Every structure is written in C-alpha cells, then in structure tokens.
C-alpha cells in the first residue's frame, strides 16, 4: 500500500504540534481491521488533544481523530471482510491508538461497528462521537422515564456538535425543546433545528437559591461548571439531567436539595466505554427513530489541512454544528 496522509500530533520540546504527514501502514498502531477512511469528524476532545490544552493523548506521536467511517480493505477477524462499510469511534481510538484523521485506519475488530442500514458513511461521520453521545443520552434518559409529556427539555451549549444533534432528535420525538446558547446570532438556526424556545446565556438570570423555580423535566448539558449547578437548581420534580460535557468548566457547586427534595437525577454519559451491545443498539436508533432530520444543515465538509485552524475556533466556542473531514 502506498503511503497516505494523516494528521500526526507530536510533542516537540514540551509543545504539542499537529501536522499533516505521509504515513506507511506499518507505522499505524496494530489491529485486525484495516479500512480506507471515507470521513472523520471534529469533536471538542480532538481540539483539546491536538492543541495539548487537554492532556488527552497518552503517548506521542499519535495520529488524532476519535472517530472515522470507511470501507474495510482487509480483516484478520472473521466478523469483517473486505468491502464492509464500518464505523469506528471511542475506546482508545485517537487517544492511545492511532485515530481517524488518516486516509487509512488500522484498529482492533472489537471496536468496529458495521454501518447500520439507513445511514451513509457521510451521515455516520457527521454523527460520529457527537451523534453517538447525543443518542446515548436520549436512550439513558428514556430508560429513566423521560417522556415528551413530562415537561420541557433544556439543551445547553446549544450550537455545539452534540447539542445540535440532541435538539434535532428530541424535536422529532415530540419534545418541547428549549435551547440555551451564548450565540445570539444563531437563534434562527436553533429554531430551524426544532427548538421551540431559545434562551440567551448572556441574559440568563441564574439566581442563587438552592432550589429555584422548577422549569425543566429534562436537561442535556455540554457545558458543566456553574451552568450545570444552575440546572440542578431549576429542574422540576423528578427532573433528569444528562451531563456529558465540560466546555465551560469541570467543577460545579450545588447542594443535595435538588436530589433529596425534588428527586432530581444527574446521569453521567460516557460514550467511550459503552459495552458493544448498547453501542450497536444506539447506532441502530441513530439510523432509524433518532436519525437527525437536519444532518445536511448541521454538518459541513473540511479537509485534513483545515484541522489546526478549526481546533482553535472550536476551543473559543466559535463554531456551530459538525465539521466532517473528507479523507478519500
């Protein structure tokens, strides 16, 4: 196989760098399945990893990218054969094992999900870890009793990759979605995706009482920090919060009162470690009842060379939706 292009993240005298380089197959981390990458996508974690702002990469150099879709070239595992269309996300992909910002990927067969019917390789990459996280959050909150008639569902960090997909999914399921964003110029876009109401973070009255008026039956939080604390204080009786993000900080301070006086449940979402049966179930839903109706509006294509600049904008909260990286 000829050398191919990859985005390699390195540590150069204590500084993290990310450059497009030519790589040979033998240089990739080992695995049973080799696939020709069609698309990858950009997640917040990729931006943290490639800039060194987050200590994500376990050892350098490492090809980044925590998700990819493509077509199998060869497989030493009987579950996959040449020509199969596949998805690879999570586990050590792009962290402790070379990842998806590469025209060819080599991965353990245990990490590979067959592309479900109903999704193209582009759709699956547009969803990627973000879509999977959104779907997992919806699935886990439903298991805890979330239903459209319970009340409003708040989505925080609304213009982000995971959040836009949550909005699209919940709106299609019949929820009254309230989007909370820091970007006043994007209110129309969020309504187009299905938000019934859009709140501006700059105008938010957060209050200081341990329990404020109960407003939300469900909440999906990309942001963490004091925003998550505010959510705990403004949930209705038996409200459900999916906490999956830290774009605004990792620490938050609240009291036990929302939990012991309102039965609020704070549900952690970890897309990286889901067991394969649940992972396949969620991907099946992403291809059917949770399939976002606005993938074409949410996703836009970029190239491998565009990635470093895109990471910078992402970390400043300046992007909207999902960037899909075209690799072949």
Question: Least distance in Å: CB of 224 to ligand NAP?
Answer: 7
Q: Which stretch binds ligand NAP (CB under 6 A): 6-14, 92-100, 238-246, 296-304?
A: 238-246
Report 99-128 residues binding ligand NAP (CB under 6 A): none
Cβ distance to ligand NAP smaller for residue 32 or 46: 46
Report 28-87 residues binding ligand NAP (CB under 6 A): 43-45
- Collect all residues with Cβ–Cβ distance below 8 Å to 89 and sequence separation of at least 6: 66, 67, 68, 111, 113, 128, 129, 132, 271
Cβ distance to ligand NAP smaller for residue 55 or 117: 55
Cβ distance to ligand NAP smaller for residue 235 or 323: 323
DSSP letter, residue 7: E
Report 140-199 residues binding ligand NAP (CB under 6 A): 157-163, 181-183
Question: Least distance in Å: CB of 286 to ligand NAP?
Answer: 14
User: Which two tokens mark 90?
Assistant: 């999570």
Question: Least distance in Å: CB of 95 to ligand NAP?
Answer: 12
Helix (H) or strand (E) holding 156: strand 153-156
Out of 148, 214, 284, 317, the only residue in the binding site for ligand NAP (CB under 6 A) is 317
Distances (CA, A) of 9 to 54, 125, 151, 252: 13, 21, 45, 31
Angle subtended at Cα 33 by Cα 304 and Cα 127, rounded to the nearest 5 degrees: 50
Binding string, 198-227, against ligand NAP, x = CB under 6 A? ---x--------------------xx----
Cis peptide before 61 (omega within 30 of 0): yes
Handedness of CA 204, 320, 298, 291 (dihedral sign): negative
How many residues bind ligand NAP (CB under 6 A)? The answer is: 30
Cβ distance to ligand NAP smaller for residue 65 or 160: 160
Q: Is residue 229 within 8 Å of residue 209, measured between CB atoms?
A: no
DSSP letter, residue 283: H
Instruction: Report the chain's terminal Cα–Cα distance, integer Å.
Output: 15
Out of 146, 170, 193, 269, the only residue in the binding site for ligand NAP (CB under 6 A) is 269
Distances (CA, A) of 51 to 159, 163, 169, 211, 246: 22, 23, 31, 39, 17
Question: Least distance in Å: CB of 244 to ligand NAP?
Answer: 4
Distances (CA, A) of 164 to 46, 50, 156, 194, 220: 18, 23, 10, 9, 11
* Residue 89 binds ligand NAP, judged by CB under 6 A: no
Q: Which stretch binds ligand NAP (CB under 6 A): 24-32, 109-117, 240-248, 291-299?
A: 240-248
Cβ distance to ligand NAP smaller for residue 103 or 133: 133
User: Which two tokens mark 56?
Assistant: 């994500």
Question: Least distance in Å: CB of 84 to ligand NAP?
Answer: 25
Out of 57, 129, 264, 304, the only residue in the binding site for ligand NAP (CB under 6 A) is 129
Out of 244, 283, 310, 311, the only residue in the binding site for ligand NAP (CB under 6 A) is 244
Cβ distance to ligand NAP smaller for residue 223 or 295: 223
Q: Is residue 121 within 8 Å of residue 96, measured between CB atoms?
A: no
Out of 103, 232, 234, 246, the only residue in the binding site for ligand NAP (CB under 6 A) is 246
User: Which two tokens mark 23?
Assistant: 């790589």
- Residue ranges in contact with ligand NAP by CB under 6 A: 43-45, 129-130, 133, 157-163, 181-183, 201, 222-223, 244-248, 269-272, 314, 317
């Amino acid at each position: 196989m000829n050398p191919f292009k990859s985005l390699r993240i390195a540590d150069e005298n204590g500084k993290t760098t990310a450059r497009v380089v030519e790589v040979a197959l033998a240089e990739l981390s080992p695995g049973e399945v080799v696939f020709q990458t069609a698309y990858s996508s950009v997640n917040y974690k990729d931006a943290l990893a490639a800039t060194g702002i987050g200590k994500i990469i376990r050892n350098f150099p490492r090809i980044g990218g925590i998700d990819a879709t493509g077509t199998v070239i060869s497989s030493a595992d009987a579950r996959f054969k040449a020509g199969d269309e596949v998805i690879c996300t999570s586990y050590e992909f792009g962290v402790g094992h070379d990842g998806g910002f590469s025209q060819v990927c080599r991965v353990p067969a245990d990490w590979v999900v067959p592309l479900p019917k109903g999704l193209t390789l582009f759709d699956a990459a547009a969803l990627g870890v973000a879509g999977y996280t959104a779907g997992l959050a919806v699935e886990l909150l439903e298991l805890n009793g979330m239903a459209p008639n319970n009340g409003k569902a708040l989505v925080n960090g609304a213009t982000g990759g995971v959040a836009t997909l949550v909005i699209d999914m919940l709106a299609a399921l019949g929820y009254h979605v309230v989007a909370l964003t820091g970007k006043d110029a994007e209110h129309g876009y969020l309504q187009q995706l299905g938000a019934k109401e859009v709140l501006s973070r700059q105008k938010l009255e957060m209050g200081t009482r341990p329990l404020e008026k109960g407003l939300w039956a469900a909440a999906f939080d990309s942001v963490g920090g004091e925003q998550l604390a505010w959510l705990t204080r403004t949930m209705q009786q038996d409200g459900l919060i999916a906490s999956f993000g830290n774009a605004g900080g990792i620490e938050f301070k609240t009291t036990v009162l929302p939990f012991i006086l309102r039965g609020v449940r704070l549900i952690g979402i970890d897309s990286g470690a889901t067991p394969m049966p649940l992972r396949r179930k969620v991907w099946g839903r992403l291809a059917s009842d949770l399939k976002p109706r606005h993938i074409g509006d949410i996703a836009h294509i970029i190239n491998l060379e565009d990635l470093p600049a895109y990471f910078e904008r992402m970390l400043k909260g300046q992007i909207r939706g999902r960037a899909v990286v075209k690799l072949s």
